Structure 1
Amino acid sequence: MKVQTEVLVTDLLNRTNQLIREAEELKTKPEEALNYKEHAESWSVLECLEHLNLYGRFYLPEIKKRITASSSASEPVFKSGWLGNYFANSMLPKEKLNKMKTFKNMNPLNSKLDKKVIDEFIIQQREMLQLLEASRKVSLNKTRTAISISKLIKLKLGDTFRFVIYHNQRHMVQALRLRSVTLLQNQ
């Protein structure tokens, strides 16, 4: 994938702002509905967002550290790496979400959660907006970040942003579907 850097950053800012709006809307729902599960092994709305918070606790500091340490200036075009592009595209929300196995340390199944999960998610998304703005001054191609499954594998910063934000969108779609099911159950 090859794209104008400014087009990519603007797209990711728009996606993140949409996530914040959706999370704010979820905050208006009763906690009971946000903890509703279709069955014992499925996630609730709050578990979906806690899963994203767990990833955010790794990626946000990692991205910030790499932007701060970067000495590479921004380029007009971002060219995705093959692995980063694969990871990012695999996270994009689709009509029928394919199930993926979650790493145990990132699985919030059966956690006792409240609306503070949504507050943390919104805080993390606002931090993401700041990092995206800061990324305009560095190379999205040459600045590289570690990934949560291995510190040995490094992705281009542009791919890391795409992966994390698409992953956030994927699980927000899941959470919003659950919210719809919950509303139907309560009618």
Structure 2
Amino acid sequence: MKILTSQLLDELKRITEQHLQSADTFLQKPDHELNFRVSADSWSILECLEHLNRYGNFYIPEISRKISSSKSSPRPVFTPGFLGNYFAESMLPKEKLNKMKTLRTMNPIHSRLNKEVVNEFAGQQQQLLELLEKAGHIDLEKTKTRISISKWINLKLGDTLRFVIYHNLRHMAQTEQILKNF
């Protein structure tokens, strides 16, 4: 798969802007609705967002550092790496979301959460939009980032951006399901 770099970044910006709009909607909801669980072992909306915030706390600084230190020039076309493409594609929501195990440190279940989680999420989405803008000025293939589960694996920045934003998309789809069940 090859994609125009500008097209990829535009798609990721569009998705991130939708997440920002969802955050605004969540801020209008009462706390009991944001803490509602479909079942005892499922996540609430706030737990979904807290999970995303925890990943954002790793990836946003990592992406920012790599963009700031990159000396490369942008390429017109982005070609995903094999592993990066696999990770990114596995995050895309499907009709019936397949459950995935999450690392214990990234699992917020039964945390005491409030709307500060939504504000943090919105702030992270704003930071992602800024990083996506900056990413258009460097090579998304030559610039590499670490991943949260292994310090020995590096992905192309384009794949990391896809992974992070598709992961957000996956859990935002989960929040929509929670709202339907409320």
TM-score (norm: length of structure 1): 0.96
Q: Where in structure 1 do 4 or more consecutive aligned residues deviate above 4 Å?
A: none
1:62-116 CA-to-partner distances (Å, cap 9, x unmatched) read: 0000001111110000000000000000000111100000000100010000011
1:14-64 CA-to-partner distances (Å, cap 9, x unmatched) read: 010011111111111110011011222110010000000000000000000
Pairwise CA distance, 1:163: 0.3
Q: Is 1:120–2:120 an aligned residue pair?
A: yes
Q: How does 1:1-187 map to 2 (within 5 A)?
A: 1-182=1-182
Segments of 5+ residues of structure 1 without an aligned counterpart are 183-187
Secondary structure of the 1:173 match is helix
CA distance in 2, matches of 1:44, 1:98: 17
Pairwise CA distance, 1:144: 0.3
Q: Which amino acid aligns with 1:181?
A: N
Which residue is equivalent to 1:185? none
Pairwise CA distance, 1:142: 0.4
Pairwise CA distance, 1:176: 1.4
Secondary structure of the 2:139 match is coil
TM-score (norm: length of structure 2): 0.99
Q: Which amino acid aligns with 2:121?
A: F
Identity score, percent: 54
Q: Which amino acid aligns with 2:65?
A: K
1:115-151 CA-to-partner distances (Å, cap 9, x unmatched) read: 1100000000000000000001110010000000011
Segments of 5+ residues of structure 2 without an aligned counterpart are none
Q: Which moved more, 1:133-142 or 1:20-29?
A: 20-29
Q: CA RMSD in A?
A: 0.6
CA distance in 1, matches of 2:19, 2:143: 25
